[in-house]
Amino acid sequence: MGLLYGLIAVGLALIFGLMDVVNFAHGEFLMIAMYASFFLFAFFAIDPLLSAPLVAAALFVFGAVVYLLVVRFAMRAKANAGMVQIFSTFGLAIVMRGLAQFFFTPDYRSIPQSWLGGKTVSIAGIFLPEPQLIGALVSILAFAGLYFFINRTDFGRALEATREDPGAVALVGIDKNRVFALGWGLGAALVGLAGAIMAVFFYIYPDVGASFALIAYVTVALGGFGSVFGAFAGGIIVGLVEAVTALVLPPSLKSVGIYAVYLLVVFIRPRGLFGSM
Amino acid sequence: MDKNFAARRRRDLIIAAVLAGLAALAPLFIKDVYVQNILILTLMYAALSQSWNILSGYCGQISLGHALYFGIGAYTTELLFTKFGVLPWFGMLGGGVIAALIAMGLGYPFFRLRGHYFVIATIVIAEIGLLLFQNWEWAGAAMGITVPIRGDSWLKFQFLRTKLPYFYFALALCCLAWFVTWWLEDSKWGFWWRAVKDNPEAAESLGVVVFNSKMGAAAVSAFLVAIGGAFYAQFLAYIDPESVMGFQFSLLMALPAVLGGIGTLWGPVLGAAILIPMTELTRSYIGGSGRGVDLIVYGALIVAISLALPRGLVSLFSRAKPKGATR
């Protein structure tokens, strides 16, 4: 479960953590991705595992478009930039929920059968549900990929440079909007991957994103802004803490442990575990 | 400049008095209960947003966890009333004091945090409060508390047959929050807060005790919001954790101030006056289909206003703003 939180958080780590743009519609991106893989399954009988790259590609386009249509202008705001970002993306989240209700109705949907659903594998005597296992694998791959991407490619360097100093970057001929649009697309694509896998074992409904979004913010902040590895570690910690809390406290209180650990960490280290900002 | 400032403040006070007077007369002409309801909610959100604005607007400490104080006000009042028979008026004050104390207790560790870390901490603490109340059997858990109806009385602050007393209370609360803001704006505290918001290091070096300023803002803000919570509980005669402590509520409290103009005297009132009727009208006229059209319209308006007017709606009246007020 921790790795799944990590997978949701990784897209956010890119947008929120590395580009320093607040995205309150992150949960809604997840929701869209889950619906996308549901409909690919329902109409074309494509298994979520196969459609995951398709969903990721679709979300890539969606994320880039959202950046170009909304976020680009929010970042241009000279006054109260932070609040403008929070509330323009919050407004966007409401619109997306409204659209989902309009087109998909508020019904709960689920993918009844898939290659992975309900199967378990036993590793050294421990039974693990297969979807979670695949989710964990994808999550590790996604993190490794992103880490490589940010630290080893020109694009990653351009992204970081653009956040640091958009003016100087323009001087050396990097188009800020192109870099950030790609960054948003990539962040959204990672959420798309998470959504496609989660569609297998969670109910899908218009408000589904909200419940995961807060945990994703906490995960990114716990790991520290500006650190991909931090978000990964944050995801694992969140998953472990949740599991332990669920043993000690009633299940309905399991998130309290996560929140308490976040507070504890930032009180001791106000920049999160591996944060650089 | 100084003279201008004093003149502007005097003018603000006169405008506020005239507006409050007009609002007080409104029920003479507006008999429709539905419209009265909208007016009450508008006034309440204006008051809440004004209180939120003290900490987040003037002092610059963006809190998205004020639902915690709202819920504490509501719960203190109703728990004292239903379990111990304490009159809501005392519960209201008690809730305010408790909320202010909690705000200061939380401020102690919280105000070391900066930026996103602070915002997320405020969200998280309100969420913890929500979960605890949802699981607290004695306080009604997720079912909440239904306030027993014992007939119309000012003493118990509940009215079945008329909404007017609620209207006047909400108006009074709104005026109080406005007046407190107006008064603090020109006080030592007001100047400290703006200094802390703009540049905490520079403020500290000039002798502003940054930490104490933040604590003061948090306490005043939490106290007023808790009074609003107590009012809301009496007004609805029913509370449950999700409806008074949910994250949505923290955002709804901040929204009027942000759309109206964050850190300004008139922003929250202006924002609430436009946003709340709009919300209610879209909900009742196009929300009936249950298909989310009201959400689409509402969300799109928020996006549009926040992108088009980053300084908020008050910037439309910006010629009234003295030069140099915003660098």
Q: How many structural domains comprise chain A?
A: 1
Give the pLDDT confidence of B113-127 residue by residue, as tens digits: 777 788 888 888 888
Lowest-confidence range among A111-120, B189-198, B211-220, B242-251?
A: A111-120
Residues B227-263 have pLDDT tens digits of 888 888 888 777 888 777 878 788 888 888 888 877 7
Consecutive H or E run containing A129: strand A126-129
Alpha helices in B237-292 (DSSP H): 241-245, 247-260, 267-286
* Domain assignment present for A241: no
Q: What is the pLDDT of residue A80?
A: 65
A259 and B124 within 8 Å at the Cβ level: the answer is yes
- Domain for residue A254, yes or no? no
Long-range contacts of A268-271 (CB under 8 A, 24+ apart): A269/A224, A270/B112, A270/B113, A270/B114, A270/B117, A271/A224, A271/A225, A271/B117
Tell me whether A72 touches chain B (CB under 8 Å): no
d(CA B314, CA A222): 37
Q: Quote the crossing angle between the two packed helices B210-236 and B88-110, to the nearest 10°.
A: 150
Give the minimum alpha-carbon distance from A47 to chain B in angstroms, rounded to a whole number. Answer: 29
Whether residues A91 and B124 touch (CB distance < 8 A) is answered with no
Give the model's pLDDT for residue A55: 82
Q: What pLDDT does residue B287 have?
A: 61
Output the pLDDT for position B219: 84
Q: Helix %, strand %, coil % for chain B, to 5? A: 75, 0, 20
pLDDT of B293 strictly over 70:
yes
User: Which three-class secondary structure state does DSSP give residue A134?
Assistant: helix
**CATH architecture type of domain B2-320:** Orthogonal Bundle (1.10)
Partner B, chain A 92-121, Cβ-Cβ below 8 Å:
92-102, 105-106
Report how far residue B247's alpha carbon sits from residue A218's, in angstroms, rounded to the nearest whole number.
Answer: 14
- B39, B30 in Cβ contact below 8 A? yes
Question: For position A115, what pLDDT does the model report?
Answer: 56
pLDDT at B38: 83
Q: Which of A262, A201, A205, A238 is nearest to A9 (CA)?
A: A238
Q: Does A78 touch chain B (CB under 8 A)?
A: yes
Q: Which pLDDT score, from 0 to 100, does residue A181 have?
A: 84
pLDDT value for A198: 79
- For residue B321, the model assigns a pLDDT of 47
A266–B contact, CB cutoff 8 A? yes
Write the burial class of residue B79 (CB in 10 Å: 0-12 exposed, 13-18 middle, 19+ buried): buried
What is the C-alpha separation between B126 and B131, in angstroms, rounded? 9
List the single residue in A with minimal CA-CA distance to B289: A102
Q: Where are the domains of chain B?
A: 2-320
How far is it, in rounded angstroms, from Cα B132 to Cα B160? 31
The pLDDT of residue B72 is 87
Report the interhelical angle of A228-248 vs A208-223 (nearest 10°).
120
Start-to-end CA distance of chain B, whole Å, equals 14
A127 pLDDT exceeds 70? no
Mean pLDDT of all residues in A237-256: 80
Burial readout A73-106 (b: 16 or more C-beta within 10 A, e: otherwise): bbbebebbebbbbbbbbbbbbbbbbbbbbbebee
Question: Which residue on chain B is closest to A253 by alpha carbon?
Answer: B131
Cβ within 8 Å of residue B84, ≥6 positions away: none
ipTM reported for the complex, 2 dp: 0.78
| B292·A98 Cβ contact <8 A | yes
On whether any CB of chain B is under 8 Å from the CB of A245, the answer is no
Q: What is the enclosing helix (H) or strand (E) of B140?
A: none
Q: Tell which of A90, A245, A249, A276 to mutate to test the B interface (max B CBs under 10 Å).
A: A90
pLDDT, one tens digit per residue, over A161-179 is: 777 776 777 777 777 778 8
Q: What is the pLDDT of residue B327?
A: 35
* A225 vs B contacts (CB less than 8 Å): 116-117
Rg over CA atoms, chain B:
20
- Residue A171 falls within a domain, yes or no? yes
Give φ, ψ of B158 to 5 degrees.
-140, 140
Domain that holds residue A132: 2-105+126-205
Q: d(Cα B73, Cα B136) in Å, to the nearest integer? A: 16
Radius of gyration (Cα) for chain A, nearest Å? 18
% of chain B beyond a pLDDT of 90: 0
At residue B322, the pLDDT reads 45
Is A153 part of any domain? yes
Cβ(A197)–Cβ(A212) below 8 Å: no
CB < 8 Å to B135, chain A: 250, 252-253
pLDDT tens column, B61-88 = 788 888 888 888 888 888 887 777 777 7
pLDDT, position A117? 53
Q: What is the predicted pLDDT for the residue at B204?
A: 74
- Report the mean per-residue pLDDT for chain B: 78
- What's the CA gap between B57 and A232, in Å, rounded? 34
Averaged pLDDT of chain A = 77
Question: Which residues make beta-bridge pairs with B82?
Answer: none
| The pLDDT of residue B307 | 79
